[in-house]
Structure 1
Amino acid sequence: MNRIILIGNGFDLAHGMRTSYNDFISYYWYKIISDIKSTKERLFENSEIKITRLPRPVYFSTIIKFEELHETLERNGSELIFKNKFLEHINHKKQIQNWVDIENEYYLLLKQSFKDVNCTYKISQLNSDFTEIQKLLENYLQETENYFKENYNKNSEVLRIQSSVGNKIYSNFNFRDFTESAINKKVESEFQEIQPDLKNNYRPVPTFNETYSKRNQLINTVDKSEPHKTIRKRLLSESAINYFDLQPEEILFLNFNYTFTEDLYYNSNDFNSSIDINKNLVLSKIHIHGTTDQKDNNNVIFGFGDEIDED
């Protein structure tokens, strides 16, 4: 049987990584303010914003947030102009709601641009602005991931989480959590395995071979008049591991993040000691987000998505 590990942003957040869209936008303004503090010019401009009549650096000495920046500029007669309208939109949403879903906001604006003939925010410009934000987000997440990988082993809480998660990933299956259909299929599969021995009244003697030992224990305890009932009872019991091989044959990490946190869990020997090291456990990864399409023996990385052009 196989196991699929679905990884979303909550996985990174649980490891202490600041990877939410809120974190990204807050960090963006923190960097902007840092750049403003170091400039001697009266004009600040980059690809996303432009600030005219920039106050002297002393006015920015204690600020780190957008709200503080906006108040300081307004108080000193400066003007902040958004060259990237999508950044302006998501920043405004964050200020109102204290959170923002960048992908959803893009989708809503895309629909509006497509359906409303009077919309001045054309799809081509929206795509261009969105791509720019996407690149900034990727850079931010890369920096966040690099910092995490360099420092995570110094954090006892993160190491505790890693140990707990890793042991779950490589744990045996617990069929009490399965659907009735899956349980019935497993019962039938196990029955077919031992049916020939049951027909021949085979009663095995104990052996030190793990695989056959579990099979033999099951054969010795099965009620021949109700084999399926016995197997089901064993399968759902706390002692199921004594009768069945419940370790996954393949583990797939399906990651929807830009980060590669699953790499922390790619070595089964770092975790559950009950894993049969002689078993050919197959590990594979699929990364849904990425900047380019890549494939090799163990990885498949897909691009972010297709843009819709107004033509």
Structure 2
Amino acid sequence: MNRIILIGNGFDLAHNLPTSYKDFINHYWEQWGEWLQGAYLGDKLSDELCSISQKGESQPWYWIFPSRHFPSGTKISPTDVMKTVRANPDRFLIEATPFFQHINKSFETKNWVDIEGEYYFWLKRIFRESDCGYDGAKSLNKELDEIKRLLIEYLDGIQKDQIKPDLVKESIRKAIHEPYEAQDISIDGQPAFEDFAKKRLNFLATHSDSAIEFFLNQFGYPYHSDIDEYNKKIANANYQFGGDRFNYSQHISNINKRREIVPDFFLLPDQILLLNFNYTTTADMYLYKNSGFEVNHIHGKLGDNLNHIIFGYGDEMDDDYKTISKLNDNDYLTNIKSIRYLETDKYRQLLRFINSDYYQIYIMGHSCGNSDRTLLNTLFEHPKCVSIKPFYYQWQDEQGEWRDNYIEIIQNISRNFNSMQTMRDRVVNKEFCRPLVPKSN
């Protein structure tokens, strides 16, 4: 039995990395502020997404926005420059494309934004409305390409400057490599879990010390005498007369009712796959040296020319997608993830993994939103999926009360299921879940 760790942007945020779309948009406007501070002539400056112009008689931009206050010499930040521009609409005009304007409006009203979701919203508007600011999907795709280029540039800087081994949190590493708990396994998955437990018992009793040591080293464990001691406790006295080597029913009973006497080694996953939806390599740092476990960068990896960044939308379960796919215009399908997956073997590798054995899913920092709905449905409703365990985000509100997003994650998970009965069986109850980063961290 295996384990898949879904790694989303919340994983990087848990390491205090500024990788959210909110951080990216803020950085974009900071870059604009720096541009205004260094620009000279011209009453209007523009890029592929927006323009800023002066109203009335124009002046050199760096006169209007010097880098320092005079005569104090206090530095003026690019952020303050943009605040000044926005606060003076009678003097400055900001014009943005409809798509980018909508992204910023969403950011301003909700304090967060889903760029991929906004892209799909506009893609649907274009084929429904003739007068929405675009004459076709091609111009929208061009804008998304520009946002993608800027995002990669931004994240690449974070990757090079901030993602270091000392970011690793032992609580997260421990969670990734921890043993199974019977309470986390679905009712439908119990037979597979019991079969796994029996096979692991036999493996630890029959394989060589070197083979067992290699297996345990992947989890950071050395070989331990607890294995032999436990094997003796549940050995079948009638084994020499043709019975089973072990009292399997006693072993299963111990796992369910006396878990504390069963060493962790007997319940460690056979394989672990880190399914990384991020473009960064934060997740890669969590595998032990010489581990046989892998990271699948399903959406691409920064700096990897053989695994390009996938940025778009992936909800084939949406009714509108069926209409879009029937249009005789490939521009509407340019940034659909299912099509982009075919550019590498990463998706096929994932399919081989989930078809190879039963598996549990850990959700670490992935919102399970609609932009990855098709892939998540494949994982969640697969007949070999026996458990879905979310690690939630926890914070203190203005009154000092602790809040979390467990229910929000579950709501999103539910949209990836066709069968709510299956969903209720596979998703782990909150009482058995915990925050990705505990309060003490």
Q: With structure 1 as the length reference, what TM-score do the two structures score?
A: 0.73
State yes or no: 1:254 paired with 2:275.
Answer: yes
- Relative to structure 1, is the Cα distance of residues 38 and 293 closer, same or farther in structure 2, using a 3 angstrom cutoff? closer
Q: Distance in 2 between the 1:286 and 1:91 partners?
A: 32
Find the residue that maps to 2:231 and give its secondary structure. Answer: helix
Q: Distance in 2 between the 1:194 and 1:96 partners?
A: 55
State yes or no: 1:282 paired with 2:292.
Answer: yes
State yes or no: 1:127 paired with 2:134.
Answer: no
Instruction: Report what 2:359 is aligned to.
Output: none
Structure 2, unaligned runs of 5 or more: 66-75, 203-223, 314-328, 334-441
Instruction: Report what 2:37 is aligned to.
Output: 37
CA contact (8 A) 1:50 1:81 kept: yes
- Relative to structure 1, is the Cα distance of residues 120 and 310 closer, same or farther in structure 2, using a 3 angstrom cutoff? farther
Partner deviation per Cα, 1:242-271 (whole Å, 9 max, x = no partner): 7x62222211010111222112112x25xx
Amino acid at match of 1:116: E
Show the 5 A alignment for 1:191-230: 213-219=229-235, 227=247, 229-230=249-250
- Relative to structure 1, is the Cα distance of residues 194 and 58 closer, same or farther in structure 2, using a 3 angstrom cutoff? closer
Q: Distance in 1 between the 2:233 and 2:308 partners?
A: 44
Report the Cα offset of residue 94 of structure 1: 1.6
Report the Cα offset of residue 119 of structure 1: 3.3
Q: Distance in 1 between the 2:305 and 2:77 partners?
A: 47
Q: Distance in 1 between the 2:308 and 2:5 partners?
A: 16
Larger Rg: 1
Amino acid at match of 1:148: Q
- Relative to structure 1, is the Cα distance of residues 143 and 190 closer, same or farther in structure 2, using a 3 angstrom cutoff? closer
Instruction: Report what 1:204 is aligned to.
Output: none
CA contact (8 A) 2:34 2:78 kept: no
Instruction: Report what 1:303 is aligned to.
Output: 310
Q: Distance in 1 between the 2:199 and 2:3 partners?
A: 23
Q: Distance in 1 between the 2:308 and 2:262 partners?
A: 37
Amino acid at match of 1:258: Y
How many residues are matched? 273
Q: Distance in 2 between the 1:181 and 1:163 partners?
A: 32
Find the residue that maps to 2:260 and give its secondary structure. Answer: coil
Amino acid at match of 2:251: I
Find the residue that maps to 1:309 and give its secondary structure. Answer: helix
CA contact (8 A) 2:281 2:301 kept: no
Amino acid at match of 1:245: F
Instruction: Report what 1:273 is aligned to.
Output: none
Q: Distance in 1 between the 2:279 and 2:248 partners?
A: 46
Q: With structure 2 as the length reference, what TM-score do the two structures score?
A: 0.53
Show the 5 A alignment for 1:181-192: 181-188=188-195, 190=197
Instruction: Report what 1:144 is aligned to.
Output: 158
Partner deviation per Cα, 1:105-125 (whole Å, 9 max, x = no partner): 111110010122343312111
Percent of residue pairs identical: 28
Q: Distance in 1 between the 2:48 and 2:200 partners?
A: 66
Structure 1, unaligned runs of 5 or more: 196-207, 270-276
Partner deviation per Cα, 1:52-110 (whole Å, 9 max, x = no partner): 336543543455154432224x24x333333x442222112222332221111111110
Q: Distance in 2 between the 1:301 and 1:216 partners?
A: 52
Instruction: Report what 1:200 is aligned to.
Output: none
Report the Cα offset of residue 130 of structure 1: 1.2
Q: Is 117-126 or 301-310 further displaced after alignment?
A: 301-310
- Relative to structure 1, is the Cα distance of residues 49 and 119 closer, same or farther in structure 2, using a 3 angstrom cutoff? closer
